[in-house]
């Protein structure tokens, strides 16, 4: 029989993502609905180690659903990677009588959670996928991805105006250290002339061929979306190499959208997703679930063991990629 839980804590960890606040709100409100005491841990695992806990009331999460960032702050903790760090974190949880945790973050967050659970199995832990990268196995979407793509597409739309006016080729770098989800969706929605992602081997000659084909059909400007984790080098290297092989544009420019993609008011899609997952995580804890990421699959809440979520790579939709290449021509 699983032990009844009374006090849970929520924290955000790793890179922030729009709608993390909506997830926190849903967790707090559903915890209250079930007469649970709820704590917020500031700055992720760092705050767990420092004992930076804050009792949350339902009013603490009023007026945050529309805000980007995370009201609980976040960090990439090096100390939690050590045995001593995790021991200190455990002792702080014990001192505060916390019997369950909800971690909102990405791969690094869940890797830490799994290690912690192996050492301290009496604490129940569930995760919510919160990262703009959308790179977690077991969920169709991660919290923050939709907003990040919308931000990137708005930027591309603006670049398109100036690219068109000047007959220029633009390389636009979007985030995604290990995955091309943001790049692929931005390329499709932004009507890009090419896309370079980590999941695919590309080369300069093929890219130049594609751009020249477009130029032959009087396409006098173009925009190529480059995921930061692509295998061809930095966006500046790529632009320089292309410049040496092509002379159809008036000029070649590079734009790195960077951390703009991580901020801003979350989209309605992300707010709804975060609410569903936050609400669902509390329900799952009450049902005795632990050691899993609470994601969404085919429009329904779906739990994936942390082990699988962090070790399996989420496949990019090959049909979408094929379509993006064809539409780019």
Q: Find the part of the chain contacting ligand F6P (CB under 6 A) among 114-122, 152-160, 175-183, 306-314.
A: 175-183
Q: Decide: is 198 part of the binding site for ligand F6P (CB under 6 A).
A: no
Q: Decide: is 132 part of the binding site for ligand F6P (CB under 6 A).
A: yes
To ligand F6P, the closest distance from the beta carbon of 70 in angstroms equals 13
Return the residue of 73, 124, 262, 271 that touches ligand F6P, per CB under 6 A.
Answer: 262
3-state secondary structure the chain: CCCCCCEEEEEECCCCCCCHHHHHHHHHHHHHHCCCEEEEECCHHHHHHHCCEEECCHHHHCCCCCCCCCCCCCCCCCHHHCHHHHHHHHHHHHHCCCCEEEEEECHHHHHHHHHHHHHCCCCEEEEEEECCCCCCCCCCCCECHHHHHHHHHHHHHHHHHHHHHHCEEEEEEECCCCCCHHHHHHHHHCCCCEEECCCCCCCHHHHHHHHHHHHHCCCCCEEEEEECCCCCCCHHHHHHHHHHHCCCCCEEEEEECHHHHHCCCCCHHHHHHHHHHHHHHHHHHHCCCCCEEEEEECCEEEEEEHHHHHHCCCCCCHHHHHHHHHHHC
Q: Which residue is nearest to ligand F6P (CB)?
A: 175
- Cα(38)–Cα(58) distance, rounded to whole angstroms? 9
Active-site residues, by number, are: 133
212-231 residues near ligand F6P, rule: CB under 6 A = 228
Q: Decide: is 175 part of the binding site for ligand F6P (CB under 6 A).
A: yes
Q: Decide: is 176 part of the binding site for ligand F6P (CB under 6 A).
A: yes
Q: Find the part of the chain contacting ligand F6P (CB under 6 A) among 126-134, 233-241, 304-312, 318-326.
A: 126-134
To ligand F6P, the closest distance from the beta carbon of 301 in angstroms equals 23
To ligand F6P, the closest distance from the beta carbon of 107 in angstroms equals 8
Contact 293, 126 (CB under 8 A): yes
To ligand F6P, the closest distance from the beta carbon of 196 in angstroms equals 15
Q: Decide: is 177 part of the binding site for ligand F6P (CB under 6 A).
A: yes
- Cα(103)–Cα(305) distance, rounded to whole angstroms? 14
Q: Which is nearer to ligand F6P, 87 or 178 (CB)?
A: 178
Q: Decide: is 27 part of the binding site for ligand F6P (CB under 6 A).
A: no
Q: Decide: is 15 part of the binding site for ligand F6P (CB under 6 A).
A: yes
To ligand F6P, the closest distance from the beta carbon of 76 in angstroms equals 6
Six token digits for residue 38: 């709820």
Return the residue of 21, 70, 131, 134 that touches ligand F6P, per CB under 6 A.
Answer: 131
Return the residue of 44, 106, 112, 138 that touches ligand F6P, per CB under 6 A.
Answer: 106
306-325 residues near ligand F6P, rule: CB under 6 A = none
To ligand F6P, the closest distance from the beta carbon of 195 in angstroms equals 16
Interface residue list for ligand F6P (CB under 6 A): 15, 106, 131-133, 175-177, 228, 262
């Amino acid at each position: 029989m699983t032990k009844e839980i009374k006090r849970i804590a929520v924290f955000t960890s790793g890179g922030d993502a729009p709608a993390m606040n909506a997830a926190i709100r849903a967790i707090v409100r559903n915890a209250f609905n079930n007469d649970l005491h709820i704590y917020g841990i500031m700055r992720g695992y760092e705050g767990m180690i420092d004992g930076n806990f804050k009792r949350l009331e339902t009013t603490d999460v009023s007026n945050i659903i529309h805000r980007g960032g995370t009201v609980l702050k976040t960090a990439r903790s090096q100390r939690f990677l050590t045995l001593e760090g995790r021991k200190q974190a455990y002792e702080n949880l014990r001192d505060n009588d916390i019997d369950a945790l909800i971690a909102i973050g990405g791969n690094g967050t869940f890797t830490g959670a799994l290690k912690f659970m192996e050492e301290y199995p009496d604490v129940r832990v569930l995760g919510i996928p919160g990262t703009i990268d959308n790179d977690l196995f077991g969920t169709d979407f991660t919290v923050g991805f939709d907003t990040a793509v919308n931000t990137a597409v708005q930027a591309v739309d603006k670049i398109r105006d100036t690219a068109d006016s000047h007959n220029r080729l633009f390389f636009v770098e979007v985030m995604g250290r290990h995955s091309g989800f943001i790049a692929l969706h931005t390329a499709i929605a932004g009507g890009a002339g090419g896309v370079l992602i980590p999941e695919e081997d590309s080369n300069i000659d093929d890219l130049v061929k594609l751009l020249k084909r477009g130029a032959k059909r009087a396409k006098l400007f173009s925009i190529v979306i480059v995921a930061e984790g692509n295998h061809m080098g930095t966006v500046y290297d790529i632009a320089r190499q292309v410049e040496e092989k092509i002379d159809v544009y008036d000029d070649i420019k590079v734009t790195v959208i960077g951390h703009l993609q991580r901020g801003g008011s979350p989209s309605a899609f992300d707010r709804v997703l975060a609410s569903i997952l936050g609400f669902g995580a509390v329900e799952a804890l009450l049902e005795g679930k632990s050691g899993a990421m609470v994601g969404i699959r085919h429009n329904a809440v779906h739990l994936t063991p942390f082990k699988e979520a962090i070790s399996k790579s989420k496949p990019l939709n090959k049909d979408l990629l094929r379509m993006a290449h064809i539409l780019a021509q």
